[in-house]
Amino acid sequence: MKILVVGSGGREHAIAWKLLQSPKVTQVLCVPGNGGTAKLDRCQNLSFRIDDFAGITRLIETNGVRMVVVGPEMPLAKGIVDHLQEKRIPVFGPVQAGARIESSKSWAKEMMLKAGVPTAKSETFNNSEAAKEYVRAQGAPIVVKADGLASGKGVVVAETVLEAETAIDQLFAQGFNLLVIEEFLTGEELSVLAITDGITITALLPAQDHKRIGDGDTGSNTGGMGAYAPAPIGTPELMARVQKEVLEPMVKAFQEVGIDYQGILYAGLMVYPDGNFGVLEFNCRFGDPETQAILPLLETPLVDVFAACIERKLANIMPLAWYPAVATCVVVSAQGYPNNFTKGQPITSVAAPVNNTIIFQAGTQFNQGQLVTDGGRVLGVTAFASTFAESISLAYQAIDSVHFDGMYFRRDIGQRALK
């Protein structure tokens, strides 16, 4: 079958790469794709905007596409799934009402409370003075969140009241109408990406993302500078609790408000030192770069997983099968990311130089035959092995063969897995 993948990041490169491992998949079309998907066998990039739903529909109908997989949150939040379902086109991803779980932090909080999901205490504000008064009353550290899509950069962990007040002013100035002010939780973060058909839900391997730009989790928040899976902190006991206390209650809550939620439900958790946890946020799509660490370990054909969700038959292919290995993904970014960065830098040597490594491309494109940088996060270098020590070593060996001017990466990805 032909499958259309919507998106242009490292996540979409990983999804296309994994789909093409199945003999059932004859071709993957990527809208718009990137430099990596452009060079995959049986894969073709097509230059459509990801919010051009009418154009994408015509493309699907004229190319005999049998399934659509939506990668990024923006088209989901704008209703691409609703549009395609009206055309009776099989599509993997939640409807617009369900995508609010990511596009509205305040609504997500309401849903968590409805479902009885453990989460941080918070309040929602539509003006800066009230928000600042709350911050001054609560004290710091405290978390300021934009109520809307912000490409992973709409969260400020403020160490002081002044930092929080500055973040409030900046986020309102950027056009966000609501802010969620939330208590600061301490512990280790854990990414739980679950897949659901609206009835059944099951978690993929637990992963740990590295959000801060600098080594030692310092500096600005980013879309993610690396990930590893399965994260040791996601023990079988913890994951069983997450299934019963988070995933299943959320599916039930969606049903109770009349939302047929099918696709990925991504729970970002904070695991406390005492072993309990709280949900920091939900996302409505695969995480990036967690996907680049998780999918290489999936043994069940990804196309079968997507089809089971679309057809409401996920229970029929459970439990999912996984290879007995671990994976580490290190993101290579452009100098200056997550703030101002330069595009158009020539990239050399992106073929994986050692066994068990894959270089997923994200912010790349071809310019007159030359692969160049085209985004803040440029590459996701993934390695898989029997131990984290080996997978981390392999990933950094592979990075040594890559070059573009100003390339930057953290040197401590996965170190928590070694403790």
pLDDT in tens, 251-283: 999 999 999 999 999 999 999 999 999 999 999
Residues 69-88, mean pLDDT to the nearest whole number? 96
Could you tell me where the DSSP H helices lie in 139-227?
A: 161-173
Asked whether 327 and 391 are in contact (CB, 8 A), the reply is yes
Q: Does residue 289 or residue 352 have the better pLDDT?
A: 289
Residue 153 has pLDDT above 70, yes or no: no
Annotate 33-60 with DSSP letters as a single string: --HHHHTSTTEEE----TT-HHHHHHHH
Query: pTM of this prediction?
Result: 0.94
- pLDDT, residue 326, reads 98
Asked whether 28 and 88 are in contact (CB, 8 A), the reply is no
Q: Which of 53, 56, 20 is nearest to 39 (CA)?
A: 20
Query: What percent of the chain has a predicted confidence (pLDDT) above 90?
Result: 92
Residues 121-146, mean pLDDT to the nearest whole number? 93
- pLDDT, residue 155, reads 85
Q: Give the confidence band of 159 by pLDDT, cuts at 50, 70, 90.
A: very high
* C-alpha 39, offset from chain centre: 23
- pLDDT, residue 355, reads 84
Residue 152 has pLDDT above 70, yes or no: no
Alpha carbons 234 and 214: distance in angstroms, whole number: 24
Residue 154 has pLDDT above 90, yes or no: no
For 18, 242, 374, the CA distances from 22, given in Å and listed in that order, are: 8, 31, 30
Mean pLDDT of the chain: 95
Residue 353 has pLDDT above 70, yes or no: no
- pLDDT, residue 352, reads 65
Residue 367 has pLDDT above 70, yes or no: yes
Least confident of 23-32, 154-163, 338-347, 372-381: 154-163
Relative to beta strand 65-70, strand 43-45 is: unpaired
Residues 205-212, mean pLDDT to the nearest whole number? 96
Helix (H, G, I), strand (E, B) or coil at 131: helix
Helix (H, G, I), strand (E, B) or coil at 125: strand
Helix (H, G, I), strand (E, B) or coil at 62: helix
Q: Which of 352, 294, 286 is nearest to 323 (CA)?
A: 294
What kind and span of H or E run contains 190? strand 188-196
Relative to beta strand 65-70, strand 2-7 is: parallel
Taken in order of first residue, the domains within the chain and their CATH numbers are 2-93 (3.40.50.20), 121-183 (3.30.1490.20), 188-317 (3.30.470.20), 326-418 (3.90.600.10)
Alpha carbons 380 and 359: distance in angstroms, whole number: 6
Residues 70-77, mean pLDDT to the nearest whole number? 96
Query: What percent of the chain has a predicted confidence (pLDDT) above 70?
Result: 99
